[in-house]
Amino acid sequence: MTDQLSAKDWLDQGLKTLAHSGFTALKAEPLAKAMGVSRGSFYWHFADVEAFHAAILKHWREVAAEQVIANLEAASDNGNPLPLLLRQAFGSKLALEKAVRTWAAFDPAARAAVQAIDRRRLSYVESQFRASGFAPRVARARAQILYWAFVGFALSDRPLPRARQQAVLDELLRMTRR
């Protein structure tokens, strides 16, 4: 790589590093080394590590919520996007989700970012239930149950056997139908 990296290049590398090595690895020197460039490239884009951390959290929200929602909306063809969302969420590796939530246990800015993304995601899921004809109280409850299931899945250290995981997903999918 050259020293002509964009801020997005650094942020993408930061998310990869966060997912694989945790928040303590989000420092200029190890990131620059991993990318084969000098630290000067890092400081060209970010005033300091704290500014980089703030940008990483903003980028995570974009990648883990806004892009996911936009892709669901584009793929749903006016149908209910919740089944697709559940299949994606429970069919993917969630190392980044777990890493950000671990970071949030130690850092107020990361905690605020997690709380904001939780609100955004929960609001989206609830709105989809309401659009499918569920009463507001039921939509809110089902959205919360699905979201708690997702967070538990993301934080789980022991994955379920594939057949059992599919059975759980099938039950969650049943909740999306009237």
Provide the pLDDT for residue 92. 85
Provide the pLDDT for residue 134. 96
Q: What is the pLDDT of residues 137-155, one digit of tens each?
A: 999 999 999 999 999 999 9
Mean pLDDT over 104-131 rounds to 97
Q: Which CATH number fits domain 7-175: 2.60.40.420, 3.30.460.30, 1.10.3720.10, 1.10.357.10?
A: 1.10.357.10
Q: Cα–Cα distance between 30 and 28 in angstroms, integer?
A: 6
Mean pLDDT over 79-91 rounds to 90
What are 63-70's contacts with CB under 8 Å, separation 24+?
Answer: 63/15, 64/96, 64/97, 64/100, 64/117, 65/117, 65/120, 65/121, 65/124, 66/120, 69/124
At 42, which amino acid appears?
A: F
Q: Cα–Cα distance between 143 and 166 in angstroms, integer?
A: 20
Provide the pLDDT for residue 1. 44
Cβ neighbours of residue 58 closer than 8 Å, sequence gap 6 or more: 113
Average pLDDT, the chain: 93
Helix ranges (H only) for the chain are 7-21, 28-35, 39-45, 49-61, 67-75, 82-89, 95-104, 108-131, 136-155, 162-175
Provide the pLDDT for residue 160. 83
Mean pLDDT over 49-72 rounds to 96
- Say whether pLDDT at 101 is over 70: yes
Q: Are 60 and 96 in contact (CB under 8 A)?
A: yes
Q: How far is CA 116 from the centre of its chain?
A: 11
Q: What is the pLDDT of residues 1-59, one digit of tens each?
A: 444 899 999 999 999 999 999 999 999 999 999 999 989 989 999 999 999 999 999 99
Q: Are 133 and 178 in contact (CB under 8 A)?
A: yes
Query: So where are the chain's domains?
Result: 7-175
- Say whether pLDDT at 91 is over 90: no
